[in-house]
Amino acid sequence: MAPVKVTKICCIGAGYVGGPTCAVIALKCPHITVTIVDLNKARVDAWNSPDFALPIYEPGLEEVVRQARGRNLFFSTDVDKAIEEADLIFVSVNTPTKKSGVGAGFAADLNYVELATRRIATVATSSKIVVEKSTVPCRTAESMRTILEANSKPNCRFDILSNPEFLAEGTAISDLFSPDRVLIGSLQTPEGISACRSLSDVYANWVPAERILNVGLWSSELSKLAANAMLAQRISSINALSAICEATGANIDEVAHAIGYDSRIGPKFLKASVGFGGSCFQKDILNLVYLSESLHLPEVAAYWRQVVEMNEYQKRRFSKRVVDTLFNTITGKRIAVLGFAFKADTGDTRESAAITLIKDFQSEKALVNVYDPQVSEEQIWLDLQEASPLTPLDSIKKQVTISKSALEACKNAEAVVIATEWKEFKEIDWEAVYAGMNKPAFVFDGRLLVDAEKLRSIGFKVTTIGRPSSV
């Protein structure tokens, strides 16, 4: 069966994945028209903004959009038109963890995937290749196919592919330019293999053939969950070791360096921290936990659940260390929290450790100054309100202040907490920070970012993850 030559792509979902991914496809494939659609008009307007005030911050993204937008890259709220015109459709909608209902807290909420799939079935009058880009539980493609086939029009066939995205926020554009691999899962039928070839040909415009992996549908879906679970597991493992370091006098940097030399382990992703955040790691592990439980594999579920529990423990342990070190009380004390995004080089705050830390400090009646170079004030208030739904925003604002710079946040504070590894925090004028703070002045480095010895020589009392003393 000859593969369809893709000339028009529609991407449903203009978020952190759909936006950058399909912008890069448009850039690398000038012969393909790419339309990224979303129901969220404000988001689409931002993608189309004349001054390129894009809805997400990602290094290199603006340059990509500047080159392709209006040429063969379009952003629109007209979902139906884009579906109808496309020969290949990415479904890149959000798949959050359910917050209520049966399986709440574990199951993936597939409502958005289902609505998008039903829309494709309703609107399409010609055959389409439908590609799961969202991260979904294993065998979701089967549900999508059932919905599509039950609602399709005559002479209209749908081939389903899984093509999970492995980009990391903060490095999305370089990850997309030279991915470790592109994974495409298909049914092993002539039609499935042919559809797989059509999508492979799109990526082949810039990705070397040996990096485009073709596997079965279910393997592809599970591989995405497995990759995130293994990455998060590595972080929880090094964080568990950091607790032992703090209690024994070992140094987590030295331990990570030593074990990373083992070629079977490798040096990457071995940095201890206050804990992982972001929209994916926790969600995808819980997804795996739910899947394991549904398959009556309780021991497997318990194994993966522990990775998330260790992450929660790490955040709680860090907050407690701050309180303990500040003479067991932070009531009325001012704490500067530097960083609100879940990691550097992104404005994304989903599941950010900073939110948990600030909530802990609020509950201990501290005053908190927050500063982040990329996260808007509006977003910070939204997140803090969501974290404490029973507290009126006015009361939150009595305890929390948003600062315009790191220096301003640290003024008259007793302690600085580094929650995000923004480079600018490494480079701030720490002497000036020290001069403006109450004494003794404490720094709690939750990201192993600053030179602790240098700060100590200025006069700070420094506490870092995975090292014992604070002086």
Given the structure tokens 């596997």, which residue do they identify? 215
Q: Which of 358, 261, 238, 364 is nearest to 307 (CA)?
A: 238
Q: Can residue 231 be called a binding residue for ligand NAD (CB under 6 A)?
A: no
Return the biggest CA–CA distance within the chain.
76
Q: Contact region for ligand NAD (CB under 6 A) — 87-95, 205-213, 336-344, 396-404?
A: 87-95
Q: Can residue 14 be called a binding residue for ligand NAD (CB under 6 A)?
A: yes
Q: Can residue 345 be called a binding residue for ligand NAD (CB under 6 A)?
A: no
Q: Which of 344, 307, 312 is nearest to 447 (CA)?
A: 344
**Would you tell me how many other CB atoms lie within 10 Å of the CB of residue 321?**
17
Which of 9, 18, 176, 202 is close enough to bind ligand NAD by CB under 6 A? 18
Given the structure tokens 């908190």, which residue do they identify? 368
Which of 94, 97, 319, 349 is close enough to bind ligand NAD by CB under 6 A? 94
User: By C-beta, is 112 or 425 nearer to ligand NAD?
Assistant: 112
Q: Are strands 182-186 and 334-338 parallel, antiparallel or unpaired?
A: unpaired
Site string for ligand NAD, 381-420 (x = CB under 6 A): ----------------------------------------
Which of 109, 159, 165, 345 is close enough to bind ligand NAD by CB under 6 A? 165
Q: Can residue 140 be called a binding residue for ligand NAD (CB under 6 A)?
A: no
Given the structure tokens 């600053």, which residue do they identify? 450
Name which of residues 43 to 82 contact ligand NAD (CB under 6 A): 43, 79
Fill in the amino acid letter for 237: S
Which of 11, 32, 38, 195 is close enough to bind ligand NAD by CB under 6 A? 38
Q: Contact region for ligand NAD (CB under 6 A) — 110-118, 139-147, 321-329, 387-395?
A: 110-118
Task: Write down the catalytic residue from 138, 245, 280, 410.
Answer: 280
277 among annotated binding-site residues: yes
94 among annotated binding-site residues: yes
268 among annotated binding-site residues: no
User: By C-beta, is 383 or 445 nearer to ligand NAD?
Assistant: 383
Which are the contacts of 100, defined by CB distance < 8 A and separation ≥ 6? none
User: By C-beta, is 219 or 325 nearer to ligand NAD?
Assistant: 219
142 among annotated binding-site residues: no
User: By C-beta, is 17 or 366 nearer to ligand NAD?
Assistant: 17
Site size with ligand NAD, rule: CB under 6 A: 28
- Decide: 382 and 301 in contact? Cβ < 8 Å: no
Stretch (H or E) spanning 188: none
User: By C-beta, is 175 or 253 nearer to ligand NAD?
Assistant: 175
Which of 33, 97, 134, 292 is close enough to bind ligand NAD by CB under 6 A? 134
Tokens matching residue 308: 């998330």
Q: Contact region for ligand NAD (CB under 6 A) — 6-14, 123-131, 149-157, 407-415?
A: 6-14
Residue nearest to ligand NAD (CB): 15
Which of 159, 169, 345, 414 is close enough to bind ligand NAD by CB under 6 A? 169
Give yes or no for a cis peptide into 298 (omega within 30° of 0).
no
* DSSP secondary structure letter of residue 4: P
User: By C-beta, is 73 or 437 nearer to ligand NAD?
Assistant: 73
**Would you tell me how many other CB atoms lie within 10 Å of the CB of residue 425?**
23
DSSP, residue by residue, 291-346: HHHHTT-HHHHHHHHHHHHHHHHHHHHHHHHHHHHTTT--TT-EEEEE--SSSTT-
Q: Can residue 349 be called a binding residue for ligand NAD (CB under 6 A)?
A: no
Q: At what angle do helices 18-28 and 61-68 cross, to 10 degrees?
A: 50
Cα 18 from Cα 420, distance rounded (Å): 25
Give yes or no for a cis peptide into 440 (omega within 30° of 0).
yes
Q: Can residue 286 be called a binding residue for ligand NAD (CB under 6 A)?
A: no
Which of 107, 167, 235, 291 is close enough to bind ligand NAD by CB under 6 A? 167
Cα 441 from Cα 438, distance rounded (Å): 6
Cα 29 from Cα 51, distance rounded (Å): 24
Residue 434: CB minimum distance to ligand NAD, A: 36
Stretch (H or E) spanning 286: helix 281-294
HSE-up of residue 389 (Cα within 13 Å, Cβ side)? 1
Annotated active-site residue 280? The verdict is yes
Cα 148 from Cα 130, distance rounded (Å): 10
Q: Can residue 116 be called a binding residue for ligand NAD (CB under 6 A)?
A: yes
349 among annotated binding-site residues: no
Site string for ligand NAD, 236-275 (x = CB under 6 A): ----------------------------------------
Q: Can residue 35 be called a binding residue for ligand NAD (CB under 6 A)?
A: no
321 among annotated binding-site residues: no
Rg of the chain (C-alpha set): 24
Distance of alpha carbon 12 from its chain centroid, rounded?
A: 19
Residue 337's DSSP bridge partners are 370, 417
Tokens matching residue 357: 């830390």
- Residues belonging to the binding site for NAD(+) are 13-18, 38, 43, 93-97, 134-135, 169, 280-283, 350
Residues that bind ligand NAD in the complex, under the rule CB under 6 A: 12-18, 37-40, 43, 79, 92-95, 112, 115-116, 119, 134-135, 165, 167, 169, 279-280
What residues are labeled active site? 280
User: Annotated binding residues for substrate, as ranges?
Assistant: 165-169, 224-228, 264, 271-277, 342-343, 447
